[in-house]
Structure 1
Amino acid sequence: MSNAEKPVVLLVDDNEATCTLITAILRRDFQIEIASDGMEAIEKLRTNQYAVILLDLRMPQYDGFSVLDFLKANNPEMLPSVLVVTAVLTARETERAKSYGVCGIVSKPFDVDTLLEAVKRCVGDTDDGGSRGRTVFCSSTPMILLIADLLRNRMPF
């Protein structure tokens, strides 16, 4: 598949090593554009459309929530294309990210296959026909599994 035919992913992360790793994982199936902070991401989102937005939440200055706020106000149809890829999330941050209608949440450090499957689910390109619109939680930590269960069942915290 040529680059022109590949879905374009916007990777928003301030960690160069993370960007290099994710690019290596996805480059066979996706074309990757990188934004190193929330402000750069917002500038790219003003003029471009993306199949998926991989978004770190914890960045200096404009964080991932600033990007989510921008999308909510200016391009809400892109919110289901956002896959949050971040390190430590509190229960409140998880609930807040979920409230935007993001495609899913992947915890760092992540398993390569887990990340690739989550991105493909956000695009709707999976062997099971895709599950776009269904939030995917990709972590096996007990806290994330508990939070995912609570969110699925809409139980109060």
Structure 2
Amino acid sequence: MDKPFVLLAEDNEGTCTLIKALLQPEFQVEVAGDGAETIEKLKARQYAVILLDLLMPVTDGYAVLEFLKRDHPELLPRVIVMTASISRRAMEGVREYAVGGVITKPFEIEEVLATVREMTGIDPRPPRGSLLSSGMLLLLADFLRQRWM
């Protein structure tokens, strides 16, 4: 069976490294470092899940949401917004797009994996013997957080 494609729209290298390490055993992960690149990738391929940072260079995540709302509203439920801004105004702005979920930064890696797995119809619990269930990925996450975040 082919692995589902996940688009990770994030400009922080450490966050990208962490999320890719988390998801790649089960998903094909493509990274876009800014909103303009995200829009180009969305035009070229269908993604099972879109992890979208709101604050990115060139074109921000809100512009990506506007693009999706205008040209591909059917994809909005596949979007998981990742944001450090948890203000009421920001959350109301995101809710207007009817996205599939919101994860606030700093996030727990288990939450990211469970959300992506659930959105793709996979049991949200990590399989036995996986890096996450063994705790190895948690150690990697702590190391990467200390180094890049």
Instruction: State the TM bucket, normalised to the shorter chain.
Output: 0.7 to 0.9
Match of 2:117 in 1: 120
**1:48 counterpart (40, 45, 48):** 45
RMSD: 1.5
Alignment of 1:132-151 (within 5 A): none
Rounded Cα–Cα distance in structure 2 between residues aligned with 1:126 and 1:69:
31
Structure 1: where are the runs of 5+ without partners? 129-157
Structure 2: where are the runs of 5+ without partners? 126-149
Shift of 1:112: 1.4
The residue type equivalent to 1:47 in the other structure is A
Shift of 1:109: 1.2
Rounded Cα–Cα distance in structure 1 between residues aligned with 2:6 and 2:23:
9
The residue type equivalent to 1:101 in the other structure is A
Q: 2:49 aligned with 1:29, yes or no?
A: no
- Contact 1:83–1:122 at 8 Å: present in 2 too? no
Q: TM-score, normalised by structure 2?
A: 0.79
Kindly indicate whether structure 1 or structure 2 has the higher relative contact order, using CA contacts under 8 Å at least 6 residues apart.
Answer: 2
**2:3 counterpart (1, 6, 14):** 6
- Contact 2:118–2:124 at 8 Å: present in 1 too? no
Measured against aligned partners, the alpha-carbon deviations of 1:9-55 in whole angstroms (never above 9, x if no partner) come to 00001111110010011111110000000000001111210000000
Identical counterparts, % of pairs: 51
- Contact 1:8–1:31 at 8 Å: present in 2 too? yes
Give the total of aligned pairs: 125
**1:103 counterpart (93, 100, 113):** 100
Shift of 1:110: 1.1
The residue type equivalent to 2:89 in the other structure is R
The residue type equivalent to 1:14 in the other structure is D
